[in-house]
Every structure is written in structure tokens, then in C-alpha cells.
């Protein structure tokens, strides 16, 4: 019965964990990704946290594009982690599978203690000073959108930038221009970084270098 | 057909509107609150005539929906699981009398718990009340189950429960929606028909209604045995181990089995009470061991007569508390499967990385009152005025977070603060304890169930100070209007504002003052006055209404009158303000040398000026003037 009602699952499944602090727009971020995936014909299942846990505090959301209807993602199986804050990236690193990727908003990369484990688990850290960039655009509130744009520049997040742009224009009617600029800025930074990385294989940005 | 991403609670709401629900009531509570918001959204979107309201409490909400049902209309009532405790009286009674129009009760359970005082299982309340239960596994199924629920309710003239859990309520799933508005049916030509032997049954007749109810449940169980909501996936793949799962645990279990690389028969139960025991018994008998996965407690398992092959909560195989996370489910299944000789995939977690992350002592982010919250100012004043010696009974709402300010000592259930103060007063008199009793309760909670214990206190001559934290809204659950609001649930402005001060006077309280907690001096002197009144001969309860709007909902007073502050160079990092005032915008430097204002989140309320007793937090203008000297 629910097979008829739910969108037919796509054969492949992408599992994302989105983490940040209350007020950073974790729920908006996951809605942006989910609605874009649905517009592209994928099924989605995601979970979010409301109420007591929303007043400040760590906020986390799990997003499954295609595949199962289970709302939570098991530790050690997520493909991608989007972290709006470096400590929240660290806290949620154990969700990633071997070979997973973390996109993180940070000026300095992740603490050097984890580097060895990331290498062992073949986890890539792709970092961006998204808050700094958002402030340059005029508001820290669009930090999350900068980070999404950044992630979209990499093949790991198979959501085309055009599709993200279209969703963003719909779900952020107020401050639309600023949001689109933020997406663009993140995307361009990602394109540059991805290009540089191809030129210098293995140059990742963890550690406080 | 188009596809939209719907919150679980919105999917339930859509189901209600699609199925011709005409009266929907609720009292807000996480994780259920967006159900009524959703009904309001879809009734407007599809131009349906549906009466919706945020009732004053769950019992009232239930009885309003019941009357609509007895009139012959389809009705629904939503609440969080503990709200069903408040509505238990009419629930148990309505099971006996039965209903006319379909009546669907939606209590949202909170395994974890994430935002509740208990992990109680509404399915067990239903078992006790003898009310059938539907247990959806995902938003899409919840929407579809509304149709089954109304149909069953009307066929058997029984109230029924649709029981979601947090992970369903707050999941979002892509659902297929029709491009055109679903077909509307006219409001049925029904009227309340008098039937005193049923609607006003006396105890003798209640006995007969109970016999009738038992017979209905037998027939419902037989019907559930053939229901498409109960089915087996991966049938015949094994005769050693099987799994029975209901609710969200069904998808979690299915996913876990995939990740373990094992295929075993999985019986999905959509109707856990009354359990189709024949169907489930046959499934169990066909296997050597069966794991039951359900939340938050054992409801299916309890109804199984032969549990010799059953592994679950009752034999300790499944943890008896906490959420059935993917990790927990995986661990249970791995144990049972390994015992039965299955080869399973190794767990994907990396214990080394996990251990390292735990060793990093990452900052613990406790929920806190928002920056600028007037409750913080009120609690800070209470603590300054009465000190740690006072007993501070408090209640359910945002202001429970006053615990961070050391001005919340008890939190039991809605309205309990005022009753507990009655009790502490009497107990303290017996044991010779003269500490002040200072109660805090929110506006919505006071209206919900704070009034009867206040009447009780006046009548029995109890003395305490009652601070009603009136921020004009039910803030914690998403800004639902209260009976003291100008707006109705759907935005209509026909509401009659109930005045809290008038209610308090009417309860027989003689000392009632309204004071703004932002105005420290006046607020503190009002508290003193109240305390003195309560202690004077013939004093009794003194009530202070701390009136100031929720700054998240209505920031207008702040933006019109900002008081930006700075921390002066003299700050010595003593952390008093950080700990005693606990504002998220006051941040201790990592080297602990001083405190800074986080201007990204500071709302310029200026309330922290008093939080530094050394005078190092000052208004910005003053600091500028000072530096010019």
C-alpha cells in the first residue's frame, strides 16, 4: 500500500548527515537538498529534530536519497557529511563510511588528531570558510547555502547546481538574491578547489596548516 | 501527479482532510504539534470546511472531538503521548459508549525520550482502554492509515488510535499528491440523536456496554487478521529466525537486515492492538526464533500467548529503555542471527575513530533559553531575590530550561508546579521547614491545568508566591495561540481574550500584580511585595504575572528599543555571568581570560548588564562616552 503512495525508490541510495548548531539552518539545508532531489525524480526520507533539542544545542538531520524508508542512518554507513561547524563535524564523523566525504565550514580545517584516522578510513575532508564568505556577502545566515554550493561543485553530491538554484528560489522567497549569491560563491570556490585538487592529487585540507 | 516532501505530521493532516474529517482539535506538544497546523494548512489549500482549534488542554480537546463524533461527523484529536494521560478519562469512557462519526485519536509517542518526561507507550494505554490501534511505519503509510482508521471507527462504532512516534512525526518523505484538489463530500446531513442508555449510560448499562466492547474487539481482531496492513516480506527465506516489527522499527529492521547481508521473514504489523493473535502465532510457530521490534515498549510481545521462541523486551534481548536506533536494532539482530548460525556482515562502525572522538571532549551543547528571553530575566530576578534556599517548583515549557539558572527544582507534569507547592507547604509545616516556596508556570500551562490547584491553594490557606510567566504564546511547541491570545488556531480573530489576571482574582487570590521582568527593579520589588504578602497573617497565595512577549515570536519591542552592550576591558573572566545568566550570547574566551559578546546572535536586550555584579557589562553608548574621557 505504501509502495503505491511513496515515490518509487531509485536503485541507488545516497546517505547524508547534516550537522550544525541551533539557528544555523540545518533544517533549511536538508530541505533544500531533499526538495532538489525530489524535483529530479528521486524519493527521499529524512529525519529532523524539533522541540527541546532546537533551543541552541547540536542539531542533526539524516537524509536518504533513494532507497530505504528508514528515517535514521546507521553509524559507519553515510556517504556524505555536511557540517556547518567544525566541532559538529568531528562529533558526527563516525557516521561516515570508509571512503566517505565531509564538507565542513571552518577556517582552520579539522583538529590534527583525527588526520591519521581519516587517512586510514579514506575519508576526504573538504573545508571552506563558509561563515567568512557569508559575512562578506552580507549575512552569516547564508553560511549553510554557501556550504551547499561548495559541495555541489564535487561529484560526490549528485545534485546539479541549476536544480539547487531553482529550489532555492522557491523555498527562500525572502532574501532570494542573497541566497542565490551565496550558492554561487560556494559553488565557485568548490570549482576552484576541485580543479586545484585534480592538479595536485591527494591535497586535502584537514589539519591546521 | 506531483511529488512533495511532507513532514510526517503533515502527511497525517493531509490524510485527515482527504478523508473528510470535519472537526480537529489538539493541544500542542512535541512531537505532535504540526498535525493541527497541517490540518489548518490543507483545509485552506483545499477550501474544506473543517473546524480546527487549539484547545485549552487535551481532555477538553478530546471531549470536543467526541461530541462532534456523537453528532455524526468525522473528528480527530491530536496530542503528545503524555497528553493522552490528561485525556485518559474520556478515552476510557468513550471506548464503552462508542462513537457515531469516525473518531481518530492521535497520540504521538516519544521513544528516547527527546522532548518528554516519559517513554510511555500509547498502545499500552489503548490496550488498557480497549481501543484499537494503527501503528504507521512512515509518513506515506500514516496518511493512508487515516482512511482505514475512520472506516474501522465507523464500522464498529469505536474510537480508534493512530499512533505515530517522533521519528515518523519529524521525518520528511516524498509523497505523491494529486494535481487536483481531492474530491470533497458535502457535510453529512447528521444531527445529534438522543440515546440516554448509551450517551449517558449508568453503571448497570456500562456493564452491558463493556460486554459489547469485548465483542467488538473480538470482531476487530478477526478483521485485522486479514488486513493488508499486516504482511510478511521475504517470506520463506528461512525457517530459523524471523522478525516481527511495527512502526518505524519495521523500516529500521529491514534496513539493518540488508546491512547485515541476511534475508529472513519479516512480519510487518500495522495493527498492534488487538493483535491478530492467530496470524502472528502461526508466523512464530513456523520459525525457531522470532525477534519482536516495537517502540517504545512491549505491546505486541505482551499479547503473544506463547513466548517460548520470542526474543524481545520481555526477555531482555531488546533494551527496555531508549530509542530503537539503527545501531541498537542491528546489535539485537546480529546477536540472534549469530546464535542461530547465520554469517553476518561485520559492523560498519570504526571503534577506534569513535573512541578518539569521545576522547576529544567536544563541547556539550545543552539547550538553553534563547538570547533575550524574558524568562531568563525573571529567573535571574527570582534567584537574586530568594537565593538558593527557596524551593522552586516549576512546570512544562521553555521555562523548564530555567534549570540552567538554578531556579527550577521540580518538573513533573502540566500544572504540577502549583499542586506541588500546595504539597510542599503542607509537608514543610509538618517538618518545620520555613523556606520560601516560589512557583513558576507558563501562561499556556497555567490555563491547561494550573487553575484547579490554585483554587485548592486558596481554599486550604496555602502560602506561596506564584509567578505566571506570560509570554503570550505557547513558545516551546511552535507559537500556538493560548486562550489568552487574540487569535484563533486558524488565524481567525474572533477569539475572546481570556484575562489571566481576572482568572487569578476569580480563584480567590487577593494579591495579583503584573510586572515586566525586563524592568529589573520594579520586578524585584514586586516579588518582594508578593512574598511579604504571602507571609503576612491571612496572606495566602500571591501572584505575580511576569508579562513580556516571547522575543522569538514577537521581537518588535526589542527592535524598537535596542540596548546594545559591550564587555569592558576590565572583565576578569570570573564567569559569573556565563553561569548565572546563561545567555548563549555571553561567551567565555577559550583561554578563560574574559567574556565576549557574540554579536552574531546578541539581540541587544541589555538584560545582561545586571548579570555582571562588578559592572563590566555596560551599554554601548556609555562605554563610548567613557572612552572619550
Show me where the domains of chain A are located: 2-141
pLDDT band at B365 (very low <50, low <70, confident <90, very high): confident
B-chain residues near A46 (CB < 8 A): 5, 171-173
Contact status, residue B584 vs residue B553, Cβ threshold 8 Å: no
Contact status, residue A60 vs residue A53, Cβ threshold 8 Å: no
Residues 122-151 in B contacting A (C-alpha not used; CB under 8 Å): 137-138, 140-141, 143-144
- Give the mean pLDDT of B100-120: 96
Q: Which of B33, B137, B176 sits opposite A7 (nearest CB)?
A: B176
- Give the mean pLDDT of B562-586: 93
| Domain residue limits, chain B | 2-225, 231-339, 374-553, 562-628
A161-175, B91-105, B547-561: range with highest mean pLDDT: B91-105
Q: For residues A207 and A112, what is the distance between their CA atoms, to the nearest angstrom?
A: 5
B-chain residues near A31 (CB < 8 A): 5, 172
Q: What angle do CA B123, B169, B45 make, to 5 degrees?
A: 120
Q: Which three cell numbers stand for residue A178?
A: 542573497
Q: Does residue B52 carry a pLDDT above 70? A: yes
Q: Which three cell numbers stand for residue B329?
A: 536494532
Spatial CA neighbour of A135 closest among A88, A178, A85: A178
Q: Does residue B587 carry a pLDDT above 50? A: yes
B-chain residues near A73 (CB < 8 A): 326
Q: Which three cell numbers stand for residue B435?
A: 523556606
What pLDDT score was predicted for residue B242? Answer: 97
What pLDDT score was predicted for residue A14? Answer: 95
Q: For residues B443 and A177, what is the distance between their CA atoms, to the nearest angstrom?
A: 40
- Give the mean pLDDT of B367-382: 93
Cα dihedral A71/A76/A82/A87 (nearest 10): 110
Q: Does residue B380 carry a pLDDT above 80? A: yes
B-chain residues near A65 (CB < 8 A): none
For B234-282, the DSSP string reads STTS-SSEEEEEETHHHHHHHHHHHHHT----EEEES--BS--HHHHHH
A-chain residues near B30 (CB < 8 A): 50-52
Q: Does the beta carbon of B345 lie under 8 angstroms from any beta carbon of chain A? A: no
Q: Which of B141, B254, B259 sits opposite A77 (nearest CB)?
A: B259
pLDDT band at B437 (very low <50, low <70, confident <90, very high): very high
CATH class as words, domain B2-225: alpha beta
Distance between the two ends of chain B, CA-based, in angstroms? 71
Contact A51 B352 (CB under 8 A): no
What pLDDT score was predicted for residue A11? Answer: 45
What's the gap in Å between the CA of B583 and the closest CA on chain A? 10
- Give the mean pLDDT of B550-579: 90
Burial A71-95 (b: 16+ CB within 10 A, else e): bbbbbbbbbbbbbbbbbbbbbbbbb
What's the gap in Å between the CA of A201 and the closest CA on chain B? 25
- DSSP class of residue B616 equals -
pLDDT band at A109 (very low <50, low <70, confident <90, very high): confident
Q: Which of B115, B138, B330 sits opposite A53 (nearest CB)?
A: B115
Contact status, residue A94 vs residue B353, Cβ threshold 8 Å: yes
Q: Does residue B514 carry a pLDDT above 90? A: yes
Q: Would you say the CATH fold of B374-553 matches that of B231-339?
A: yes
**Nearest residue in chain B measured CA to CA from A119:** B353
Please tell me whether the peptide bond between B279 and the residue prior to it is cis, using omega within 30 degrees of 0.
no
Q: For residues B106 and B125, what is the distance between their CA atoms, to the nearest angstrom?
A: 12
What pLDDT score was predicted for residue A5? Answer: 37
Q: Which of A52, A57, A76 sits opposite B347 (nearest CB)?
A: A76
pLDDT band at B386 (very low <50, low <70, confident <90, very high): very high
Strands B565-567 and B541-547, bridge-based pairing: unpaired
pLDDT band at B11 (very low <50, low <70, confident <90, very high): very high
Spatial CA neighbour of B479 closest among B469, B494, B493, B489: B489
Contact status, residue B447 vs residue B418, Cβ threshold 8 Å: no
Domain B562-628 annotated CATH 3.40.50.620: no
What pLDDT score was predicted for residue B364? Answer: 80
Residues 6+ apart with CB under 8 A from B569: none
Q: Which three cell numbers stand for residue A13?
A: 541510495
Q: Does the beta carbon of B4 lie under 8 angstroms from any beta carbon of chain A? A: yes
**Burial of A145 (C-beta count, 10 Å sphere; 0-12/13-18/19+):** buried
A-chain residues near B360 (CB < 8 A): 90, 111, 113
Q: For residues A129 and A109, what is the distance between their CA atoms, to the nearest angstrom?
A: 9
Strands B586-588 and B541-547, bridge-based pairing: unpaired
Q: State whether residue B371 is helix, strand or coil.
A: coil
B-chain residues near A42 (CB < 8 A): 174
What pLDDT score was predicted for residue A6? Answer: 39
Residues 283-342 in B contacting A (C-alpha not used; CB under 8 Å): 325-327, 330
Please tell me whether the peptide bond between B64 and the residue prior to it is cis, using omega within 30 degrees of 0.
no
Contact A1 B362 (CB under 8 A): no
Q: Does the beta carbon of B533 lie under 8 angstroms from any beta carbon of chain A? A: no
Write out pLDDT tens, residues B119-165: 999 999 999 999 999 999 999 999 999 999 999 999 999 999 999 99
What pLDDT score was predicted for residue B624? Answer: 53
Q: State whether residue B440 is helix, strand or coil.
A: strand
What's the gap in Å between the CA of B512 and the closest CA on chain A? 31
Contact B476 A52 (CB under 8 A): yes
- Give the mean pLDDT of A124-147: 95
pLDDT band at A108 (very low <50, low <70, confident <90, very high): confident
Q: For residues B54 and B76, what is the distance between their CA atoms, to the nearest angstrom?
A: 12
Interface probe with B: pick from A4, A56, A97, most Cβ of B within 10 Å: A56
Residues 6+ apart with CB under 8 A from B373: B398, B550, B551, B552
Write out pLDDT tens, residues B442-480: 999 999 999 999 999 999 999 999 999 999 888 888 889
Stretch among A204-208, B54-58, B466-470 having the lowest mean pLDDT: A204-208
What pLDDT score was predicted for residue B366? Answer: 77
Q: Give me the architecture of the B374-553 domain, per CATH.
A: 3-Layer(aba) Sandwich (3.40)
Q: Does residue A8 carry a pLDDT above 80? A: no
Write out pLDDT tens, residues A59-85: 899 999 998 899 999 999 999 999 999
pLDDT band at A55 (very low <50, low <70, confident <90, very high): low
Q: Does residue B560 carry a pLDDT above 80? A: yes
Write out pLDDT tens, residues B190-249: 999 999 999 999 999 999 999 999 999 999 999 999 999 999 998 878 889 999 999 999
| CATH code for residues A2-141 | 3.40.920.10
User: For chain B, what is the mean pLDDT?
Assistant: 94
* ipTM for the whole complex: 0.89
What's the gap in Å between the CA of A115 and the closest CA on chain B? 11
Interface probe with A: pick from B136, B348, B408, most Cβ of A within 10 Å: B348
Q: Does the beta carbon of B389 lie under 8 angstroms from any beta carbon of chain A? A: no
Stretch among B272-286, B337-351, B555-569 having the lowest mean pLDDT: B555-569
What pLDDT score was predicted for residue B401? Answer: 86
What pLDDT score was predicted for residue A197? Answer: 62
Assigned fold of B231-339: Rossmann fold (3.40.50)
What pLDDT score was predicted for residue A9? Answer: 36
Cell numbers 537538498 correspond to what residue?
A: A33
Where is pLDDT greater, at B299 or A204? B299
What pLDDT score was predicted for residue B179? Answer: 78
Q: Does residue A130 carry a pLDDT above 70? A: yes
Q: What is the pTM of this model?
A: 0.93
- DSSP class of residue A108 equals S
Amino acid at each position: 500500500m505504501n509502495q503505491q503512495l511513496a515515490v518509487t525508490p531509485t536503485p541507488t541510495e545516497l546517505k547524508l548527515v547534516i550537522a550544525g548548531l541551533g539557528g544555523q539552518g540545518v533544517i533549511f539545508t536538508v530541505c533544500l537538498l531533499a526538495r532538489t532531489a525530489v524535483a529530479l525524480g528521486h524519493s527521499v526520507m529524512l529525519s529532523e529534530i524539533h522541540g527541546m533539542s532546537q533551543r541552541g544545542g547540536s542539531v542533526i538531520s539524516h537524509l536518504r536519497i533513494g532507497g530505504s524508508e528508514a528515517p535514521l542512518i546507521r553509524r559507519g554507513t553515510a556517504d556524505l557529511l555536511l557540517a556547518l561547524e567544525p566541532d559538529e563535524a568531528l562529533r558526527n564523523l563516525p557516521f561516515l563510511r570508509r571512503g566517505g566525504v565531509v564538507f565542513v565550514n571552518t577556517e582552520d580545517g579539522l583538529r590534527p588528531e583525527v588526520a591519521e584516522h581519516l587517512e586510514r578510513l579514506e575519508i576526504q575532508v573538504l573545508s571552506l570558510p563558509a561563515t567568512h564568505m557569508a559575512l562578506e556577502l552580507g549575512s552569516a545566515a547564508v553560511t549553510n547555502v554557501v556550504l551547499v554550493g561548495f559541495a555541489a561543485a564535487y561529484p560526490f553530491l549528485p545534485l546539479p547546481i541549476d536544480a539547487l538554484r531553482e529550489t532555492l528560489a522557491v523555498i527562500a522567497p525572502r532574501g532570494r538574491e542573497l541566497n542565490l549569491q551565496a550558492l554561487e560563491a560556494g559553488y565557485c570556490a568548490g570549482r576552484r578547489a576541485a580543479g586545484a585538487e585534480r592538479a595536485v592529487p591527494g591535497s586535502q585540507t584537514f589539519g591546521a596548516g | 501527479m506531483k511529488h512533495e516532501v511532507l513532514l510526517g505530521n503533515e502527511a497525517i493532516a493531509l490524510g485527515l482532510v482527504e478523508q473528510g474529517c470535519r472537526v480537529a482539535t489538539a493541544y500542542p506538544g512535541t512531537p505532535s504539534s504540526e498535525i493541527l497546523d497541517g490540518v489548518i494548512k490543507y483545509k485552506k489549500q483545499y477550501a474544506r470546511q473543517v473546524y480546527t482549534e487549539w484547545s485549552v488542554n487535551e481532555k477538553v480537546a478530546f471531549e470536543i472531538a467526541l461530541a462532534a463524533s456523537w453528532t455524526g461527523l468525522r473528528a480527530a484529536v491530536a496530542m503528545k503521548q503524555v497528553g493522552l494521560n490528561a485525556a485518559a478519562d474520556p478515552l476510557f469512557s468513550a471506548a464503552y459508549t462508542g462513537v457515531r462519526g469516525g473518531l481518530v485519536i492521535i497520540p504521538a509517542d516519544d521513544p528516547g525520550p527527546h522532548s518528554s518526561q516519559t517513554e510511555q507507550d500509547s498502545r499500552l494505554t489503548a490496550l488498557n482502554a480497549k481501543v484499537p490501534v494503527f501503528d504507521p511505519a512512515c509518513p506515506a503509510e500514516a496518511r493512508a492509515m487515516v482512511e482505514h482508521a475512520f472506516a474501522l471507527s465507523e464500522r464498529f462504532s469505536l474510537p480508534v488510535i493512530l499512533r505515530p512516534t517522533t521519528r515518523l512525526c519529524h521525518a520528511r518523505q516524498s509523497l505523491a499528491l494529486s494535481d487536483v484538489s481531492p474530491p470533497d463530500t458535502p457535510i453529512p446531513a447528521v444531527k445529534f440523536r438522543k440515546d440516554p442508555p448509551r450517551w449517558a449510560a449508568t453503571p448497570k448499562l456500562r456493564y452491558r456496554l463493556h460486554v459489547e466492547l469485548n465483542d467488538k474487539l473480538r470482531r476487530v481482531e478477526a478483521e485485522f487478521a486479514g488486513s493488508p496492513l499486516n504482511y510478511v516480506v521475504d517470506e520463506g527465506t528461512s525457517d530459523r529466525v524471523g522478525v516481527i516489527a511495527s512502526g518505524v522499527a519495521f523500516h529500521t529492521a529491514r534496513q539493518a537486515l540488508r546491512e547485515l547481508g541476511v534475508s529472513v521473514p519479516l512480519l510487518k504489523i500495522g495493527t498492534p492492538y488487538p493483535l491478530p493473535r492467530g496470524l502472528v502465532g502461526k508466523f512464530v510457530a513456523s520459525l525457531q526464533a522470532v525477534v519482536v521490534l516495537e517502540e517504545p515498549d512491549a505491546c505486541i510481545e505482551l499479547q503473544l500467548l506463547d513466548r517460548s521462541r520470542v526474543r524481545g523486551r520481555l526477555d531482555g534481548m531488546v533494551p527496555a529503555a531508549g530509542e530503537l536506533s539503527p545501531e541498537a536494532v542491528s546489535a539485537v539482530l546480529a546477536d540472534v542471527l549469530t546464535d542461530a548460525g547465520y554469517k553476518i556482515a561485520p559492523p560498519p562502525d570504526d571503534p577506534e575513530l569513535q573512541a578518539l572522538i569521545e576522547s576529544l571532549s567536544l563541547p556539550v551543547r545543552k539547550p538553553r533559553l534563547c538570547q533575550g528571553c524574558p524568562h531568563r530575566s525573571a529567573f535571574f530576578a527570582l534567584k537574586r531575590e530568594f537565593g538558593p534556599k527557596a524551593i522552586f517548583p516549576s512546570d512544562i515549557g521553555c521555562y523548564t530550561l530555567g534549570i540552567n539558572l538554578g531556579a527550577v527544582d521540580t518538573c513533573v507534569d502540566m500544572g504540577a508546579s502549583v499542586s506541588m507547592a500546595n504539597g510542599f507547604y503542607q509537608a514543610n509545616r509538618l517538618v518545620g521547614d520555613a523556606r520560601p516556596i516560589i512557583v513558576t508556570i507558563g501562561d499556556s500551562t497555567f490555563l491547561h491545568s494550573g487553575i484547579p490547584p490554585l483554587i485548592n491553594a486558596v481554599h486550604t490557606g496555602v502560602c506561596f508566591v506564584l509567578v505566571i510567566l506570560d509570554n503570550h504564546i505557547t513558545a516551546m511547541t511552535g507559537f500556538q495561540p493560548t486562550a489568552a491570545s487574540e487569535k484563533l488556531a486558524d488565524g481567525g480573530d474572533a477569539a475572546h481574550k481570556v484575562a489571566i489576571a481576572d482568572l487569578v482574582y476569580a480563584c480567590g487570590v487577593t494579591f495579583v500584580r503584573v510586572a515586566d521582568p525586563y524592568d529589573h527593579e520594579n520586578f524585584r520589588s514586586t516579588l518582594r511585595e508578593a512574598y511579604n504578602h504571602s507571609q503576612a497573617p491571612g496572606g495566602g497565595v500571591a501572584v505575580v504575572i511576569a508579562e513580556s512577549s516571547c522575543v522569538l515570536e514577537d521581537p518588535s519591542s526589542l527592535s524598537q528599543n535596542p540596548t546594545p552592550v559591550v564587555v569592558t576591558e576590565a572583565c576578569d573572566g570570573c564567569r559569573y555571568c556565563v553561569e548565572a545568566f546563561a545567555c548563549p550570547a555571553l561567551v567565555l574566551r577559550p583561554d578563560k581570560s574574559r567574556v565576549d559578546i557574540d554579536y552574531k546572535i546578541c539581540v541587544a536586550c541589555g538584560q545582561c548588564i545586571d548579570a555582571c555584579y562588578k559592572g563590566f557589562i555596560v551599554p554601548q553608548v556609555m562605554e563610548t562616552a567613557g572612552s572619550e574621557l
